[in-house]
Structure 1
């Protein structure tokens, strides 16, 4: 009996790291199930991604909706359950970048609201737990499964207006460690992927993004900025058999950017 075609469920599949991962895993032989939230203007891009996956001989099923909605999550997972064989979802990638970028305290003493804080933590951290639960409850992921979550250096650094997202990234890394502990006996690994500064639509929303891009490109040992494709190819390698002893980590995939200090100004 042939093994089922492996599947990858990508949360945030229409741009940035999610898009790159969808294409890289498809090239590696995975069927792709993508979840994204786009208005009509962004759907043409989604159609292009799907077409590239199908042209490569793999199946592409994409779902447009709020990944933080419990009803939407159940609907998507039920549809995947009807299309995929038990245990065939080998990869879950959490790459959701939707949160509030504003100071905790504004000049007038106001600032981040409880609703904004809770939304950011829910979308960018807690949903990892809920989607993992849903996959396991339906028997879609089993031994050999790989769960990845995109984090950033902002999880332990201070960036203006980034407080809620920073808290979400720290929580996301904590969730990865806890899931790694709980899923070890099931043969499922869970790791956070800490990319360097990468020019994505999400990065462009952060105040001061241009300065971050210039500084990262200047100090990266490779002499260039990392790309989503660089990170996606590493995840494909980490999803291969033989990496089951690597779990609960926050793995730097940044070309060495993070360990290089800021360069002194030119004379």
Structure 2
């Protein structure tokens, strides 16, 4: 019996944002690897490296480099290595978000200009910078994905400054989809349901948000990181070749509920 070739076999995928095995970015990398893509994985800094390096080794990542998007030159160094080692890129995942704790946990009215600027730079503009570096390497087209959340579209109590920031990220994805479409590059804002990640732990009353999502989801259960990973893997395959720009929800249907 003929065995079908895995749909991502031989594709080159860069995943930015893995902190540990609970990260959405880890789910993406694991799904890509299962479908036989070659991986490049980054870690934030030396403190994060011991948590991410075993993951990179287990997933047999060809490239493993530091990448703090707020540090000048680190992003460029990652893409230089991708170009040097692979000469091309097919898939990019941006799963990076951050805001100062005092600005994240206070309401939007209380958010400082400096905190808002930092949140926008790390959580949104860094994706634009990545896209600028990735596009020349996607010589035969490719797929870019950035992680959003339902708080970008509707008010989610305690999501605070990250709501406007994620809204900006989703809008940026739409405009990049328009600008890069002629090159065969598709851009997707992906909106997972609430997940127990390290980033989410900074939100006030996050457990209440999880419980509410499970109760409201038409499918009656929460999503996990592999649900998100395989949805992203699908978007990177030729099966999704005519999908671009629109927010893709992976939340068990929570976003359709009033």
Aligning the two structures, in what range does the TM-score lie when normalised by the shorter sequence?
0.7 to 0.9
Q: Structure 1 residue runs of 4+, over 6 Å off? A: none
Select which of 36, 41, 56 maps to 1:34: 41
Any idea what the Cα deviations from partners look like across 1:92-129, whole Å, max 9, x if unmatched?
Answer: 111102123133567xxxx3222111010011111111
Corresponding residue number in structure 2 for 1:196: 193
- Deviation, 1:236, is 0.5
- Cα offsets for 1:148-188 (capped at 9, x unmatched): 11110111233445332111100111111111111111011
1:105–1:180 distance in 2 versus 1, CA, 3 Å: closer
Whether the 8 Å CA contact 1:11–1:67 is kept in 2: the answer is no
- 1:112 is aligned to 111
Q: Aligned match of 2:14 in 9, 18, 29? A: 9
- Consecutive unaligned residues of structure 1, counting only runs of 5 or more, are 262-267
Q: Sort the Cα spacing of 1:239 and 1:32 in 2 relative to 1 into closer, same or farther, 3 A.
A: same
Q: 1:190 touches 1:248 (CA, 8 Å); kept in 2?
A: yes
1:75 aligns with 77
Quote the Cα distance in structure 2 between the aligned partners of 1:164 and 1:115.
Answer: 12
Distance in 1 between residues matched to 2:251 and 2:157, nearest whole Å: 22
Q: For structure 2, which runs of at least 5 residues remain unmatched after alignment?
A: 1-8
- The alignment of Structure 1 onto Structure 2 pairs a total of residues equal to 245
Q: Contact (CA 8 Å) 1:98, 1:124: kept in 2 or not?
A: yes
Larger radius of gyration: 1
C-alpha separation in 1, matches of 2:199 and 2:151: 13
Q: 1:13 to 1:48 in 2, by over 3 A?
A: same
Name the SS for the 2:248 alignment partner.
strand
Q: What does the per-residue CA deviation read over 1:203-237, in whole Å, with 9 as the maximum and x for residues that have no partner?
A: 12100101001111222233221111101111111
What corresponds to 1:170 in structure 2?
167
SS of the residue aligned with 1:22? helix
CA contact (8 A) 2:124 2:169 kept: yes
Describe the shift of the 1:246–1:128 C-alpha distance in structure 2 as closer, same or farther (beyond 3 A). same
CA RMSD, 1 decimal: 1.9
TM-score (norm 1): 0.85
Match of 1:264 in 2: none
